[in-house]
Structure 1
Amino acid sequence: MHELSIAQSIVQLAEQQARKHQASEIEELELEIGSLAGVELQTLMFALESSVKGTMLERARIVRHDIAGEARCGDCEAVFPVETLFSPCPQCGSYYVKIVRGKELKVKSIVVKSKNKE
């Protein structure tokens, strides 16, 4: 279950950034997760829920943005939605496609509470 290690890495990254800015806690964590990122969303969210216990993120609101897959055909330049990594172009049938959206798995923003403003 690599979702647990991903969740733990997200928590570590968020806490590292919060400490860097002398925060007392993290109020909000905003994530972007693409449909082609190779993670099971429900499993990741469950792992994240478990991983935040006892951390600066314990009371944080977690905002998730799901990014749909999108590709561009290298032959006819059509842009189209994709649900799998190896989808042919619906216009010309070519497999020379480049995924342009949907592989994201990133922390978009972190909202922290300053130690000075408790």
Structure 2
Amino acid sequence: MHEMSLCEGVLQVIQDHAERQGFSRVETVWLEIGALSGVEVEAMRFCFDAVVRGSLADGARLEIVEVPGEAWCMKCARGVRVAQRFDACPDCGSYQLQVTGGTEMKIKELEVE
């Protein structure tokens, strides 16, 4: 389950920012997670609670903003939404798609004290 290591990375980023910006407690963490990122949202929620226990983010609320998958269809010559990698174009059925969005996972915002 790589979500555990992803949560550990998120906590490290939070701790680094706390040192630089001087906050002592995190109330809410907003994560943007792309549909094509390979991250399981429910596993992320479970791991987040376990990883932040005893830290400045202990008890913090995790809000996940899901970003849709996007691709450029070479046959249609336009952008389309896709649910997962290697899907066909929802308009023409072509598999000549280049992923253009929805692969990211990033901390969007923190609510801190």
TM-score normalised by L of structure 2: 0.88
Q: Is the 8 A contact 2:89 2:95 kept in 1?
A: yes
How many positions carry a matched residue from both structures?
113
Shift of 1:111: 2.2
Structure 2 distance, partners of 1:39, 1:62, is 15
SS in structure 1 at match of 2:12: helix
Q: Is the 8 A contact 2:35 2:103 kept in 1?
A: yes
The equivalent residue for 2:55 is 55
Q: What runs of 5+ residues in structure 2 fail to find an aligned partner?
A: none
Q: What runs of 5+ residues in structure 1 fail to find an aligned partner?
A: 114-118
- RMSD value, Cα: 1.5
The equivalent residue for 1:10 is 10
SS in structure 2 at match of 1:23: coil
- 1:38 and 2:38 correspond: yes
Q: Which has the larger radius of gyration?
A: 1
Q: Name the % identity.
A: 35
TM-score normalised by L of structure 1: 0.85
TM superposition outliers: structure 1 runs of 4+ over 6 Å: none
